[in-house]
Homo-oligomer: A and B are copies of this chain.
Amino acid sequence: MPINSFENYPMSWRPDKNELTRPLYQSLAMRLEQDIAGGLLPPGTKLPPQRELADFLDVNFTTITRAYKICETKGLIYAITGSGTFVAPNAARSVTISKDSVDLDCIDLGFVASFEQSNRLVAQAVRNVTEKCDLESLLNYNHPTGLPHHKMAGLSWMSAFGIQAGTEQVAIASGALNALTITLMALFEPGNRIAVDAFTFTNFIEISKMFRIQLVPIPGDANGMLPEELDQQCRLLDIHGIFLMPSCSNPTTVMMPFARKQQLAAVIRKHQLILIEDDMHAFLTAGMMDDYRQPMYRLLPDRTIYICSTSKSICSGLRVAYMVYSDIYKERIETAIYNVNVKTSSLDAEIVAELILSGQASAIAEHKKQLARRANELYAAYFPHASGIGHPLSFYRWLPIASREPAARVEEAMREHGIRVYHSERFLSGAGVQDKFLRVALASANSMEELERGLSLLQKSLYA
């Protein structure tokens, strides 16, 4: 029997000892998982300290450590030495954001598309390609990482962003998320840690969870992640990599100034991290923003996987992203590409290459930028107090909200008003953050009129 009685002690979770079967730690972890899934332990709940629960159940406290560990690697809970163990914000549900569950009665400001109006221009280019080129050479297994001239076209596209590399350092993947999956698969192991912004790309959170890679949230300011905080966490924990979107962070719209890139690069080099630089927004930033200068790849060419998708800038339906990397990662990346994709469709890569080389890609990107400018002007008209920060041409905005209601309830209420938006909790990489936001996609409505209707509804439902 335990020495102390806990009957009057406020423990947030009191599993019934009699219901536990051996092995204890597994049975306990399963119980915990059920109680979290069942809503008995809502996100943010502080679990009993290991020693306290051990005392209560009359077992050794490292048995609790092990049970908690199982749930932690599943992403259900997180632990902070000195503070305790807490139920994770996204424990109860998948946060994956996708386009499938489209409710047609609803204006979609949730999923970030890419002003699909531009696809008219792409359709004609597809016809041109198929009429004139040697299709047969695109229809076989050859060149799994991309045909040389497709890589050349990609390098030409990326040269505008400051990328300089040889074709043997480039490979073609099927979009940015696919490239991220490949990168995690190739270079990381279960249990590895990757530093990320406190709010980060939801689907990156999901794939990390699937690979059992732990995300370490690093605080940031208006210029992005804070180098000192990164340095500190690296000294504290064994961190293996870092994920950044310096051109325009998703979801915060933060644009990283060159000085900050340099400071972070120094810390990354010092701790020998692998940098995953997702630069799909480079086309919105390079040549537009005074302080763009160079991608971080240029500062750390030997430790960076640079990923440049054409989904946002050129066409979302042609699944093409370029990956640029140093020789030391080459073999592992290319093996992973093969194991995940075999190859990316050369037909898609050819069309994108044709668009790039003919100059149509630039025209399309320019068109999207104009649409982005108008969409952001509309947003500023409806939310003047919330504009002026972050990237001015972002395809989405990060809107502070006052509501402290649970995230699911906020989203649900918006749905009832006829719009879909996502709450900041979906983007949390770790422990909760005080401030709450909505991510408002500007690039997904079917027209500017529909976007305006959506923004108007959003404004009314927030401030009514």
Contacts and interface: CB of A to CB of B under 8 A. Distances in A.
A138 B122 CA distance: 11
Contacts of A135: 122-123, 126-127
A119 B116 CA distance: 32
Contacts of A119: 136, 139-140
A188 to B, nearest CB: 10
Most buried by B among A175, A203, A206, A319: A319
Contacts of A335: 94, 96, 98, 206
A190 interface: yes
B127 A139 contact: no
Given A99-B141, A130-B131, A318-B345, 16 more contacts: A94-B331, A98-B335, A100-B145, A111-B141, A126-B347, A139-B318, A174-B345, A190-B212, A203-B338, A203-B339, A207-B339, A210-B336, A210-B339, A311-B342, A340-B340, A345-B348
B348 A206 contact: no
Interface in A129-148: 130-131, 135-136, 138-145
List 3 A-B pairs, minimum CB-CB distance, nearest first. A139-B317, A123-B135, A119-B139
Interface stretch (A177-185, A271-279, A282-290, A407-415): A177-185
A89 to B, nearest CB: 18
A387 B179 CA distance: 43
A353 to B, nearest CB: 15
Count copies of this chain in the complex: 2
Interface in A181-211: 181, 185, 190, 203, 206-207, 210
A318 B347 contact: yes
A33 interface: no
A275 to B, nearest CB: 21
Contacts of A122: 135-136, 139
A138 to B, nearest CB: 6
Contacts of A317: 138-141, 343, 345-347
Interface in A344-374: 344-348, 351
Interface string A218-230: 0000000000000
A404 interface: no
Contacts of A99: 141-144
A334 interface: yes
A238 to B, nearest CB: 11
Nearest to A123: B135
Interface residues of A, number: 62
16 contacts: A98-B335, A99-B141, A100-B145, A113-B140, A113-B141, A119-B139, A119-B140, A126-B347, A127-B130, A127-B131, A139-B315, A139-B317, A175-B342, A206-B339, A311-B342, A347-B347
Contacts of A334: 98, 100
A351 B318 CA distance: 14
A315 B308 CA distance: 28
A156 interface: no
A102 interface: yes
Contacts of A345: 174, 317-319, 345, 347-348
A346 to B, nearest CB: 6
A130 B126 CA distance: 7
Contacts of A116: 139-141
Contacts of A344: 174, 319
Contacts of A343: 317, 319
A311 B342 CA distance: 11
A276 B434 CA distance: 45
Most buried by B among A131, A144, A338: A338
